[in-house]
Structure 1
Amino acid sequence: MLMKKQFFKKTMLVLTLFMLSSNAINAAVSLPSFFTDNMVLQQKSAVPFWGESDAKSVTITTSWDKKTYTSKVVNGKWNVVLKTPVYGGPFTITINDGAVKTLNNILIGEVWLCSGQSNMEMPLEGWGKIDNYKEEIANANYPQIRLLQAEHIESTLPLSTLKVQHDGWNVCSPKTIADFSATAYFFARKIYKEKKIPIGLIHSSWGGTLIEAWTSSGALSTIHDFDAQIQAMKSEVDANALLKKYNADMAVWEKKVSDSDKGFGAGKAIWAASNFDDSSWETMKLPSFFDSNGLGNFDGIVWFRKKVTLTANDTDFTLSYFADDDDMIWVNGNYIGETKGYNVERHYTIPAKFLKKGENTITIRVFDGAGNGGVYGDENFILKSAKQSIPLAGNWKYKIGADIKDLPVRPYLAQGQNRPSAIYNAMIAPLRDYKIKGVIWYQGESNAERAYQYQTLFPLLINDWRDQFKDKNLPFFFVQLANYKQQKQEPGDSDWAELREAQFKTLKVSNTGMAVTTDIGNGEDIHPKNKQDVGGRLANIALAKVYNVKIDYSGPLYKSYTIKGNTVILDFDFNKNIKARDDTLKGFSIAGSDQKFYWAEAKIVNGKVEVHSEKVPNPVAVRYNWADNPDGNLTNASGLPASSFRTDVWAGITQEKK
């Protein structure tokens, strides 16, 4: 009898242990991708913390206050709200649902969301290679700065899970910083050096993206500019109809482009003929972007021709290069091939039968729809065979075949990540309940062609994100577009200036700040390498507006104007010690009622700028730095540049574009 009782007890004990171990296995807690070791939680806040489990309840214990929170699991999900103290650490969070999971090396500090397109995304190394990148990487020993890198993902519907790189949060070090946002890093570094508060950076950016892709469909539906595209994301039928219409419109437009191309005649490439006389054509060095070589801001078709000499033609030749956007190539009038896509390397084979011993003519036709255009790449631009290598880098003859300005507006269909709300759904929506301190933003280049619309879209995004993050006063600091493209000799229109104007006007939204960068760009590089100053200027704004540090953070900002006789008098905010950075003020233009602008003389009188020109006896408007690549020099005690501006409200070149 005793043996039976002992056997029964042992059996029950084994069964109990088995059941407990089984429950522990089944009850393994699951956390979102951004709750990991090394993370930063927002200080002095009520921080949502959540996950999934198969257990009935979960307990969470925080080491900073030894407090334990309990949550019932409902439909597999649980959530609590953690109370965080003033900054410090490292701490741990222990989650127990039958199985114990501990998150280690957690800091309490300030969390900033860093977003935008390629200039925010630009890493210290990799494709970025910012100024002094090797030294900057070697010195990036900041264990109190933590990094979370979001993957590029788009979605038709809002997601609850953020896909991240490197298994979650990482400690900032030379091993982890190289592929992270340079602007975000320098922003955090300056704040940390000043305040010694741990900083968590959530970087969620994607190069070449549009602002509407980062905005929720709910917000976009209030302005109706994207209704058809939003509906198409919800319905395959609508999406197919939209694509069909786009393809039809595109075919019509491409036919108009081809018909307007002076290089074609009666369906033949007359400018590609070997005996065509190109002696009157101008010259340009290739490889290069033609925007930076005499054709500033040009979009359309450019033909290039070059004569080369072969010692023999008994074998095929090959030729490789990049072109932006699309190209066609002929040799001695013989069509060789064509390729579409600005980032596709061309690989052409030129049959021996199309070549001859002695002089041969290569013709390349390039179509550029927006941004840079040309034949680009390194100097390894060579016509090669098994026996000969002929360098093609150098002077080519060129002539414009068609200017896109003379054509109807090109049809547009947002696809992939640039569909309205597509990136918001996947790269912002999952973060909505992660408590953050503020946002830094660098975007706008991709929206420059619709700059006037950006006046609506940018404030819309800011207020949308504030709604999503449940913080009506969420700090939102952004970078105004840098100087870029070829400098113009005379005042004129500029979509980049209009985009900067839209950004300037967004300062009317409360608790925003703008870092002006028109003095640190690069006319030939849309990705300027000086990201130290960009991050530093954003940090100055945050230090002044969020951390109550007395620091200069803005150059002069235009406020108002008056006219006295032939002089326009301009008044500014941030006008302490307003001055020219060097010698005489420049960058100002002036116009009368005919809306024709001339360069103007400008001088500072009693803290204001007085502008006039002998060519405009009755002025009505002044513009400053109104160009893609301006060179104005107005500053103040901070040494920071003044924002570009205009006093007029005349219709710009982007006003009707949507």
Structure 2
Amino acid sequence: MKTNRLTNRLNIKLGLVLLLCLCFAAIGEAKISLPYLINDGMVLQRGKAVPIWGTADAGESVTLKFAGKEYQTTAGPDGNWKIMLPAMKAGGPYDMQINDITLHNILIGDVFLCSGQSNMELTVARVMDMFADEINAYENTNIHYLKVPYCYDFNEPQKDIKKAEWQPLDKTHVMGYSALCYFFAKQLYEKTKVPVGIINSSWGGTPIEAWISEEGLQDFPVYTHQKAVYESKELINNIQQIEQARGRAWQIELYKTDKGTHAQTPWYAENYDDSAWQTVDMFSPQWATNGWRPINGVHWFRQQIDLPASWNGKEATLRLGCIVDADSVYVNGKFVGSVAYQYPPRIYNIPKGLLKTGKNQITIRLVSNGGLPSFVKDKPYKLICGTEETNLSQQWKHRIGTEMPQAPSSTAFQNMPIGLYNGMIAPLRNYVFKGTVWYQGESNTGKWKEYASLLKSLMKDWRKTFGMPEMPFYIMELADFMAPDNPGRKGWAALQAQQAKAAEEDPHATLIPNKDTGEWNDIHPLDKKTGGKRLVEAVTQSF
């Protein structure tokens, strides 16, 4: 009995010792956490004290080693910690060690926040038509770029962005860079020889009120009241589920009733007989309406094109301009690609072995979700094979596959007031910037009268957020859009005037002339190089 008791006591003591060892091991393994901005490849602003921050267990010691110096702090009761680095000269790449974490490839240079909507987001891949040779020939490891992931929140400002990474300007990453940011950073580096960091926090189609905080919108109660409606995440989820179900039902009905897809010989087949189809001018609105409203649903277009023997079996490119709304394309009965919405240029690769000498069949299945379906004028509609080109005819055979009611609308929650500030600007609050580039306004042309006031509120709001009362703002003027006789052109010009008014009334704001880079038939003009050059000229005036 005594032996058993002694054995039990020993087991208990050994268990306690093991438990204590595990506890101390757990304490020893306590790790710090860093926000996604503080990561490999980050660029820190030169000439200013900059914070490095994160979280850890309360009371955890944090040691930071950087550029030959060591800094220490302790996590507070809430687990937050921050270390201020002194102003530093441009340079790098460096490593930074924070406890057991080592960050690599850190640069010190000039960092810019770039924000707005689709013309700020438009990628390098979309401007290759105009600048392919220049882009393919350039890499620069002293330029780093981070795209803030999409996020909206209607309850509170977020502390961190969603997962993201800093990317060097190289062939692996360049196509995902914003085109404007690319040309701005490239030309800025060429002029200053100082590393450049770009944080791009933008979202296509969004209005300015989505980017301002609740406090910043206090003079616009209609927007703060609108935001309150979406504070319930359950409501948002319910709306999304209902709208997604309606959208799926519409798409299913579209597919089921499309005669061209389900015909015994599909209408995209090379040998389909389209002799009974109507011939239409692709740019005429007549095929797109029934006389009093647009025909939504599926429109099929077919065209034969004769090709010389020199094209036989070769790889080629089919250019189909821009199409409203979506399309799927077939060549000689084979599917070659599709685009799901109206804005991107239609550039389809035709693989080797598909084209032949003589007659070749091109078929387009156009889907119209709502509004007037159309082909955009003054865009390229042609086949390209090496150095040879052949233009497509404006005359196409046309037949309706199915007529549908307008597709159900969906709520763009990212467009609601305050949400993007909370999700995509507030998490950047500790980062130090040289200045901000703002390219936005297209989505506010319908309410242009309030735009100058909103833009001034945004600038005041962000300066408070970043603790920079004199933070420079560089406002990209909207590029011209639409034909001069288009009624919508008036609202566009009025908003351009509002941009100028806001810049004129703010001593630390500069309007970057940009209207002359526009294209009448494209809300996303390709020339982002001119705007980048003018940005550099404005920014370097203050150096």
Q: Is the 8 A contact 2:127 2:179 kept in 1?
A: no
Q: Is the 8 A contact 1:221 1:227 kept in 2?
A: yes
Q: Are residues 180 and 341 of structure 1, via their aligned partners in 2, closer, same or farther at CA, if it must alter by over 3 Å?
A: closer
Q: Are residues 30 and 308 of structure 1, via their aligned partners in 2, closer, same or farther at CA, if it must alter by over 3 Å?
A: closer
State the AA in 2 paired with 1:134: A
Q: Is the 8 A contact 1:478 1:538 kept in 2?
A: no
Aligned ranges 1:550-565 → 2 under 5 Å:
none
Matched, 1:145 2:152: no
Aligned ranges 1:204-215 → 2 under 5 Å:
204-215=201-212
In 2, distance between residues paired with 1:228 and 1:93?
Answer: 45
Matched, 1:119 2:119: yes
In 2, distance between residues paired with 1:453 and 1:395?
Answer: 47
State the AA in 2 paired with 1:87: A
2:26 is aligned to 22
Once the two structures are superposed, what CA deviation does each residue of 1:517-574 show, in whole Å capped at 9, x if it has no partner?
2222111111111111111111111111x21xxxxxxxxxxxxxxxxxxxxxxxxxxx
In 2, distance between residues paired with 1:504 and 1:187?
Answer: 21
Cα drift, residue 142 of structure 1: 1.0
State the AA in 2 paired with 1:500: Q
Q: Are residues 134 and 289 of structure 1, via their aligned partners in 2, closer, same or farther at CA, if it must alter by over 3 Å?
A: farther
Cα drift, residue 481 of structure 1: 1.0
State the AA in 2 paired with 1:136: E
Cα drift, residue 85 of structure 1: 1.0
Q: Which of 444, 449, 460 is 1:463 aligned to? A: 460
1:160 is aligned to 159
Cα drift, residue 237 of structure 1: 10
Cα drift, residue 52 of structure 1: 1.4
Q: Any unmatched runs of 5+ in structure 1?
A: 1-10, 244-282, 294-299, 310-321, 327-339, 345-363, 381-390, 398-411, 548-658
In 2, distance between residues paired with 1:455 and 1:465?
Answer: 15
Q: Is the 8 A contact 2:90 2:107 kept in 1?
A: yes
Matched, 1:74 2:73: no
TM-score (norm 1): 0.55
Q: Which of 441, 445, 448 is 2:442 aligned to? A: 445
Aligned ranges 1:197-346 → 2 under 5 Å:
197-234=194-231, 285-286=281-282, 301-302=293-294, 324=324
Q: Is the 8 A contact 2:41 2:105 kept in 1?
A: yes
In 2, distance between residues paired with 1:462 and 1:285?
Answer: 48
Q: Are residues 91 and 230 of structure 1, via their aligned partners in 2, closer, same or farther at CA, if it must alter by over 3 Å?
A: same
Once the two structures are superposed, what CA deviation does each residue of 1:16-46 show, in whole Å capped at 9, x if it has no partner?
9866543232x11110011011111111222
State the AA in 2 paired with 1:495: G
Q: Any unmatched runs of 5+ in structure 2?
A: 1-14, 241-278, 303-321, 327-339, 345-365, 383-392, 400-408
In 2, distance between residues paired with 1:439 and 1:222?
Answer: 23
1:35 is aligned to 38
In 1, distance between residues paired with 2:146 and 2:488?
Answer: 43
Q: Are residues 130 and 458 of structure 1, via their aligned partners in 2, closer, same or farther at CA, if it must alter by over 3 Å?
A: farther
State the AA in 1 paired with 2:498: A
Matched, 1:501 2:497: yes
Once the two structures are superposed, what CA deviation does each residue of 1:342-376 show, in whole Å capped at 9, x if it has no partner?
789xxxxxxxxxxxxxxxxxxx998966xxx4334
Q: Are residues 222 and 394 of structure 1, via their aligned partners in 2, closer, same or farther at CA, if it must alter by over 3 Å?
A: same
State the AA in 1 paired with 2:107: L
In 2, distance between residues paired with 1:413 and 1:223?
Answer: 25
Q: Are residues 473 and 130 of structure 1, via their aligned partners in 2, closer, same or farther at CA, if it must alter by over 3 Å?
A: farther
1:518 is aligned to 515
Q: Are residues 43 and 236 of structure 1, via their aligned partners in 2, closer, same or farther at CA, if it must alter by over 3 Å?
A: closer
How many equivalent residue pairs?
Answer: 413
Q: Are residues 136 and 521 of structure 1, via their aligned partners in 2, closer, same or farther at CA, if it must alter by over 3 Å?
A: same
Q: Are residues 444 and 12 of structure 1, via their aligned partners in 2, closer, same or farther at CA, if it must alter by over 3 Å?
A: same
Q: Which of 178, 181, 195 is 2:192 aligned to? A: 195
Q: Are residues 323 and 519 of structure 1, via their aligned partners in 2, closer, same or farther at CA, if it must alter by over 3 Å?
A: closer
1:417 is aligned to 414
SS of the aligned residue for 2:515 comes to coil
In 2, distance between residues paired with 1:308 and 1:488?
Answer: 30
Structure 1 or 2, whichever has the larger Rg, is: 1
In 1, distance between residues paired with 2:87 and 2:53?
Answer: 15
Q: Is the 8 A contact 1:61 1:69 kept in 2?
A: yes
| Paired-residue identity, % | 32
1:170 is aligned to 167
Q: Are residues 492 and 530 of structure 1, via their aligned partners in 2, closer, same or farther at CA, if it must alter by over 3 Å?
A: closer
TM-score (norm 2): 0.66
In 1, distance between residues paired with 2:228 and 2:96?
Answer: 43
Once the two structures are superposed, what CA deviation does each residue of 1:214-235 show, in whole Å capped at 9, x if it has no partner?
1112211222231331221235
Once the two structures are superposed, what CA deviation does each residue of 1:565-596 show, in whole Å capped at 9, x if it has no partner?
xxxxxxxxxxxxxxxxxxxxxxxxxxxxxxxx
Q: Which of 480, 486, 501 is 1:483 aligned to? A: 480
Q: Are residues 392 and 130 of structure 1, via their aligned partners in 2, closer, same or farther at CA, if it must alter by over 3 Å?
A: closer
2:59 is aligned to 56
Q: Are residues 222 and 492 of structure 1, via their aligned partners in 2, closer, same or farther at CA, if it must alter by over 3 Å?
A: closer
Q: Is the 8 A contact 1:302 1:367 kept in 2?
A: no
Cα drift, residue 75 of structure 1: 2.4
State the AA in 2 paired with 1:215: I
SS of the aligned residue for 1:226 comes to helix
State the AA in 2 paired with 1:153: C
Q: Are residues 68 and 323 of structure 1, via their aligned partners in 2, closer, same or farther at CA, if it must alter by over 3 Å?
A: closer
Once the two structures are superposed, what CA deviation does each residue of 1:231-261 show, in whole Å capped at 9, x if it has no partner?
2123589989x99xxxxxxxxxxxxxxxxxx
In 2, distance between residues paired with 1:453 and 1:289?
Answer: 37
In 2, distance between residues paired with 1:289 and 1:52?
Answer: 61
Cα drift, residue 129 of structure 1: 3.2
Q: Is the 8 A contact 2:184 2:535 kept in 1?
A: yes
1:591 is aligned to none
